[in-house]
Amino acid sequence: MVQIEYDGKLFEGEIMMFLVSNTNSVGGFEKLAPNASLQDGMFDFIIVKKLSFPEFLHVASLALRGEHINHPKVMYVHANRIKVQVKGDMQLNLDGEYGGVLPAEFVNMYQHFQMLTPKDRKQRK
């Protein structure tokens, strides 16, 4: 059982997994968060509700084409702040690395730092 607060909304229920992303490319898959933008100050947040194994295979095949976001057991929302709490222990995976255990809070710090392109650097000189 998980409790997830995101931008004033609440989800409670059983899930298979959740994904917090800021870009469309996640783990080598280019369409997991198909509407993601680095420019909007929002996370693309995906909750996959508890699925049977055949349902999971179907959703995974849809994800390859970016069509999983329309599945009734997949929630796809934009949020600036996400807080995840669970009953019991659940490990967190951060880009393939151990990220501690839940609970966790994710805050999108929009424009917290500035990325400079080579063109930007030349103009500043």
How is the chain classified by DSSP, letter by letter? -EEEEETTEEEEE-EEEEEEESSS-BTTBTTSSTT--TTSS-EEEEEEE---HHHHHHHHHHHTTT-GGGSTTEEEEEESEEEEEESS--EEEETTEEEEES-EEEE--TTSS----HHHHHHH-
Active site residue 30: no
Strand partners, 84: 4, 104
Which of 71, 66, 62 is closest to 31 using CA atoms? 66
Active-site residue, from 14, 67, 97, 105: 97
Q: Which residues are catalytic?
A: 97
